[in-house]
Amino acid sequence: MKELKDYFCTPEQSQKLKELGFIFAPIGYFFNYEGRTLLSVNMDLSEEEDLRAPLRAQALDFFREKGYETIIEKYEAGYGYAIRFKVKKDTIIHLQGDFTPYEESESMLIDRLIEMELDKEVQDGN
């Protein structure tokens, strides 16, 4: 059975999404307690903007709005992700990811999309 934390981006992903300009209504917050990073959906830490924890579904919506088409598919070996996006008017790129459990595939997909957006910003000079 999935735990609540399985639906959220990691703290690292959350920070990188924030750097990319991702704005969302928070459902959860990360906070440090005795050296551990914990997730809470019961406390309002809205003044601590760095601690906002987006759902992975919210992150994927953010990338779909940027023009990425994504899918996670089931294969015999497990789950894998695919990303399709236009780089130019007539050029479409299709990428595939490794086979892993569903939650890991979803998280790997978000990591790859973040990496692609950060690379794009560097290439664009932002």
Residue 66 CA to residue 28 CA, distance in Å, equals 24
pLDDT digits (tens, 9 = 90+) for 8-22: 888 899 889 989 998
Q: If you count DSSP H runs as helices and E runs as strands, how many of each does the chain have, helices first?
A: 3, 6
Asked whether the predicted pLDDT for residue 78 surpasses 50, the reply is yes
Q: Helix, strand, or coil here: 99?
A: coil
Beta partners for 74? Answer: 79
CA–CA separation, 106 and 113 (whole Å): 11
- The token pair that represents 112 in the structure block: 């790859």
Query: Which candidate, 12, 36, 39, places its Cα nearest to that of 26?
Result: 39
Arithmetic mean of pLDDT, 66-77: 84
**Total-model pTM:** 0.74
Max Cα distance, the chain (Å) = 52
